[in-house]
Amino acid sequence: MHQRNVKLDGYKRVDGLWEIEAHIVDTKDQDYPLSSGLRKAGEAVHDMWVRVTIDDKFNILDAATCIDAAPYMGYCDSIPPDYSRIIGLNLFHGFLRAVKDMFGSTRGCAHLSELLMFLPTAALQTFASEVVDNHDSEHKPYHVDRCHALVSHSETVRRYYPRWYRDQTHG
């Protein structure tokens, strides 16, 4: 009855900056009557975009949002300029909390805000294409201690990143 497609793409620009683009499309497999008018089967109920430009420290240097389809065009599509307020935030230092504070409840669009929640992991995966994940450098690999499988005292880290393994059985 309902289909939601979310797509995220990461790009490295020729100027050394990065772009992360998020797109959401909601459709119905049957005609969908709304107060604002009928949506035909397969026609987008929501079609929304978010694009951020970031540096290599995950700081947001530019942001753009766009609403191509929404249930209440003329109203829903008035909010995208507000999302430029994320410029200056860092995707890994308080970003998710800041988005909730800025755009939670009626202060933003639920769908655009949801897309923002995907940006940190999409950026991390985009950067991962540039980093050898088992390079034995003086810096801890970016993904160690970012999920349960890669907590520094896990078997995974002991096996694949022994330099960064921290045995917790000996205090």
Please report the DSSP string for 69-113 in residue order.
Answer: E-TTTTTGGGSGGGGGGGTT-BTTSSHHHHHHHHHSGGGS-HHHH
**Average pLDDT, stretch 73-84?**
96
Task: Provide the 8-state DSSP code for 40.
Answer: P
Tokens (6 digits) for 162: 């022994």
pLDDT digit string (tens) for 133-166?
666 667 788 788 888 999 999 999 999 889 889 9
Q: What is the pLDDT of residue 85?
A: 98
**Average pLDDT, stretch 46-72?**
97
Q: Tell the burial category of 156 from Cβ atoms under 10 Å away from its Cβ (0-12, 13-18, 19+).
A: middle
* C-alpha distance from residue 54 to each of 62, 98, 105 (Å): 7, 17, 26
Q: What is the pLDDT of residue 95?
A: 98
Domain ranges of the chain: 2-128, 133-171
* C-alpha distance from residue 163 to each of 21, 46, 116, 154, 170 (Å): 35, 47, 34, 13, 17
For residue 12, the cross-strand partners are 18
